[in-house]
Amino acid sequence: MSRLHIQHRTTYSYSGAVKFGMHRMVLRPREGHNIPRSFTT
């Protein structure tokens, strides 16, 4: 099984100063009964 490399960049412009905080990304497997169960960590 191959590894994935996910890179994402979003750019916003604001009129004032912005503070950075913690973010959370949640990944879920596809739903359905025919999903392969051979995941490794």
Pick the more confident residue, 30 or 27: 27
pLDDT band at 41 (very low <50, low <70, confident <90, very high): low
Q: Are 20 and 14 a contacting pair, CB within 8 Å?
A: no
Span 10-25, mean pLDDT? 88
Amino acid at 20: F
Helices (H), the chain: none
- Check residue 15 and give its pLDDT: 93
Name every residue whose Cβ is closer than 8 Å to that of residue 38 and which is 6 or more positions away in sequence.
1
Nearest CA-CA partner of 3 in 40, 37, 34, 36 = 40
Does residue 27 surpass a pLDDT of 80? yes
* 12-16, 17-21, 34-38: least confident range: 34-38
Residues written for the chain: 41
